[in-house]
A and B are shown apart, each in its own frame.
Chain A
Amino acid sequence: MDRLRGVRATADGGAERGTAPPEDGLAAPLRQAAVGDLAAFERVYRELSGPVFGVVRRVLLDVAQAEEVTQEVFLEVWRQCARFDAERGSVRSWVLVIAHRRAVDRVRSEEAAAARVSAASRLEPERTPADGVSEQVEHRLEREKVRRCLRRLTELQRDAVRLTYYTGYTQREAADLLDVPLTTVKGRLRDGLIRLRDCLGVSV
């Protein structure tokens, strides 16, 4: 994040306050999509296809498969629009749960686990999204903030989050891989998510 160096001081001075609102404004278009409104559905797609594709690709480490899963995710969203329950979280959270589950299901069913492990051990690739400026702004801000918060975790907390959420291992597999007891991974994952939640200022 060299580009941010010039404003790092300002950004840090602001701590992590000023967070994204839990209301994502997608409940209304989703309700319209539920009765077959494709234009409303496209709005949901435009807003969420970036994070869906991004996180699925992060898990699968393969663009073609990630696009395939992204497609499946949105088709499921289309089918299930009417089943969305605002009591249980935001639209984007609902969609991203579907996305992560599908990605994880796919890797767990894949034979190519070994290849994935070696790919996962590589450093995170730098990516420049082909987005408009306002998307770039939002994206860069969010990415930087998340990175800063991830850096504030202990190593084991970070590993627990990385291996489960980003890589798609079960807690048990993560414990094996890290060679620590399962209860340790459970505890560190929970601590890690709580710390991330507080650092990112998530409140519901």
Chain B
Amino acid sequence: MSENCAHGLIAGYAVDGLDPDEAVATERHLDECEDCRRDLVEFRETLVRLAYAESDRPSEAVWTRVRAAAERTRQEAPLVEAPEPDGTVIDLSSATRWRRRLPWLLTAACALVAVVLGAGLVSMERSMDDMRQESSQIEALLAAPDTSVHEGPLGEGARATAYTSYEMDALMFVVEGLPHAPEGMAYQMWYVDPDDDMRSAGMLTPTEEGLHSGMSKDMGSPVQVGVSLEPEGGMPEPSGQPMKFDL
């Protein structure tokens, strides 16, 4: 196969769209064509993005089976010595875990706004100005260099996600699975400081998608976020023991 011909097959190779003989020729060509190797790496990274766009969680049984099979499957001999764990390893067994920063920074804010505010922009009677302000706060929070994402259970059956930045001194809190607050009541957030003092962190707002979310400044260095059911306007102190979420 001529060089040009194999050259034109890189895209087909990347999508596994070649006949077997073409694939063999392309692999041979790749060994000696640096540009082609670069093209292939880039095409594959492009396809990674397409795959991520299809992303969906398989049932947990898949991991159970993979794990069981892995335990009795011999691995190929390592070609390089494995380094010591470097301390960045995340302990998956803990109920909550720090995740890496959202990679898409500003554009991620748009999606977060979409998740948090959902389609209920009008029905929630938020003015466009409020919207813009909220969305720019979310953007700023996500763009902060130290923003972390923390996920875990909240009370019974709810799950919370906290986006925190000490630099921005701000918290974005999103809860899934909270029951609707009764008429005249609403969920209030509390910063729980190390000495167990609780400061109001504002109210959670329900979204049409059944989430509750709130953005709050003046975070300080709380160890937990509390959530309690309070009269709609909020209270200076929680009236009962709030549900706690560890930061």
Contact = CB atoms under 8 A, between A and B. Distances in A.
Given A38-B71, A93-B45, A133 B176 contact: yes
B117 interface: yes
A45 B63 contact: yes
Interface in A1-41: 2-7, 10-11, 14, 17-22, 25, 28-29, 31-32, 34-36, 38-41
Interface string B1-38: 00000001111101111110000000000000000011
Interface in B15-73: 15-19, 37-38, 41-59, 61-63, 65-67, 69-71, 73
Interface string B63-102: 1011101110111111110110110111111000001101
Contacts of B76: 79-83
Contacts of B19: 170, 172
Interface size for chain B: under 10, 10 to 19, 20 to 34, or 35 or more residues?
A: 35 or more
Contact of B108 (A34, A40, A137, A192): A137
Contacts of B51: 51-52, 54-55, 96, 99-100
Contacts of A142: 49, 52-53, 55
A70 B58 contact: yes
A147 B90 CA distance: 32
A104 B47 CA distance: 14
Nearest to B44: A93
B211 interface: yes
Contacts of A6: 113-114, 117, 119, 121, 131
B235 interface: no
B53 A171 contact: no
Interface residues of A, number: 105
Contacts of B41: 88-89, 93, 204
B105 interface: yes
A190 interface: yes
**Interface core residue of A80, A146, A166 (most chain B CB under 10 Å):** A146
Given A46-B92, A171-B18, A202-B46, A138 B79 contact: no
Given A28-B89, A140-B111, A142-B55, A193 B43 contact: yes
Interface of A: 2-7, 10-11, 14, 17-22, 25, 28-29, 31-32, 34-36, 38-43, 45-46, 49-55, 57-58, 66-67, 70-71, 74-75, 78-83, 88-90, 92-93, 96-97, 99-101, 104, 127, 129-147, 161, 164-166, 168-172, 174, 186-187, 189-190, 192-193, 196-197, 200, 202-204
5 smallest beta-carbon distances between A and B, as pairs: A54-B54, A82-B78, A141-B111, A146-B53, A164-B17
